[in-house]
Amino acid sequence: MILVTGGAGFIGSNFVLNWIAQHQEPVLNVDALTYAGNLKNLESVRDSPRYLFAHADVADRTLIGKLLAKHPPRAIIHFAAESHVDRSILGPDAFVQTNVIGTFHLLDETTRYWRALPEARKREFRFLHVSTDEVYGSLGPGDPAFRETTSYAPNSPYAASKAASDHMVRAYHHTYGLPTLTTHCSNNYGPYQFPEKLIPLMTHNALNGKPLPVYGDGRQVRDWLHVSDHCAALERVLESGQVGQTYNIGGRHEVENIAVVKTLCGLLDEMSPRLNRDPYASLITYVTDRPGHDRRYAIDCGKIERELQWTPTESFESGLRMTLRWYLDNAQWVRSVVSGEYRAWVERNDPSLVSVS
């Protein structure tokens, strides 16, 4: 089986759903269910004999050790993290705890587990660490896009904590030989994204007639990738990536935040017009910029394209349209996340839950 951490979050749940749909190999999802973890995302697979869930913190090494012994995986895909930059500015502690200490404990327990494997399984084992392009810092308008060799220059507590975790992964490969792979992906969007991130937040606010708050002048540039393309890239890296290597993953679609919001508004005008027929863009309001807001991220994903023959299949326009369709069709999911109602749901007995005692 494979073990996925953070599988109840946005990208993790997309990965798990996709995995169960496409593979016979079981998945063990290890998630602490923070505010960002939502088992409702996985409702459609929870009765599958190929899906298991363990409610556990990756920083709890005793529990992680027990899980590895009881459900020995051939690979670990490590998504679990605190992932929201704004939250990292307000409270960096949780970011250090999960992203740095949590990754360290997970790596250490994984190494102990991996060392005891028979030779053939040891050779095949992989630890795939899912990281971000934010570790590379901010680019000027004419700077070349981030490559795997670009120096680290993290600017937010989130980016710094991810950078620290990347360094630990690298060190565990070089020092102990753990077969690791690291990926750096640009901004993801798609179904099941918590409505605190740009696209679901703007969609939710727009549909509820609320202001659409754009930071600063809105001209910060990001690269966007549909989550299904990210998951496909991770699978490619897992199966064919070279041990010890890092791979940048991006959508080759650089766009200013304000343009994302305007495109989204235009699509909503067409897909779900307002009752008064006013354009959604009239709700845009500019708000004080985030402190230390990085100006531009751009990712050069030539290495994964060349070496692993991966390219994104979804254009931003088609991916955004699909995503808005999903949010329009899943208003109940959004309501339950916004109201926090999904937390109560999680308290109920979940048949996929494995015992870790």
CB of 44 to ligand NAD, least distance (A): 17
E-assigned strands of the chain?
2-5, 27-31, 51-55, 75-78, 126-132, 180-185, 187-189, 212-215, 221-226, 246-249, 254-256, 284-287
CB of 29 to ligand NAD, least distance (A): 9
Burial category of 253 from C-beta neighbours within 10 Å (exposed 0-12, middle 13-18, buried 19 and up): buried
134 is catalytic: yes
What the block records as the tokens of 299 is 């990712």
For strand 254-256 and strand 221-226, is the pairing parallel, antiparallel, or unpaired? antiparallel
Residues at the interface with ligand NAD (CB under 6 A): 5-6, 8-12, 31-34, 36-37, 57-59, 79-83, 98, 102, 130, 132, 162, 185, 187-188, 194
Catalytic residue among 31, 134, 166, 223: 134
CB of 126 to ligand NAD, least distance (A): 17
User: 148 pairs with which residues across the strands?
Assistant: none
Which are the contacts of 78, defined by CB distance < 8 A and separation ≥ 6? 5, 6, 58, 103, 106, 127, 128, 129, 130
Q: Whose Cβ is closer to ligand NAD: residue 132's or residue 246's? A: 132
Helix (H, G, I), strand (E, B) or coil at 39: helix
Catalytic residue among 60, 109, 133, 254: 133
Contact 309, 237 (CB under 8 A): no
CB of 163 to ligand NAD, least distance (A): 11
Q: Whose Cβ is closer to ligand NAD: residue 96's or residue 281's? A: 96
133 is catalytic: yes
Contact 299, 146 (CB under 8 A): yes
Catalytic residue among 51, 136, 158, 327: 158
CB of 58 to ligand NAD, least distance (A): 4
119 is catalytic: no
Q: Whose Cβ is closer to ligand NAD: residue 113's or residue 132's? A: 132
- Main-chain phi, psi angles of 326, to 5 degrees: -65, -45
Q: Whose Cβ is closer to ligand NAD: residue 28's or residue 36's? A: 36
Q: Whose Cβ is closer to ligand NAD: residue 179's or residue 193's? A: 193
Question: In 26-102, which ranges are continuous DSSP H helix?
Answer: 61-70, 85-90, 93-95
Catalytic residues, by residue number, are 133-134, 158
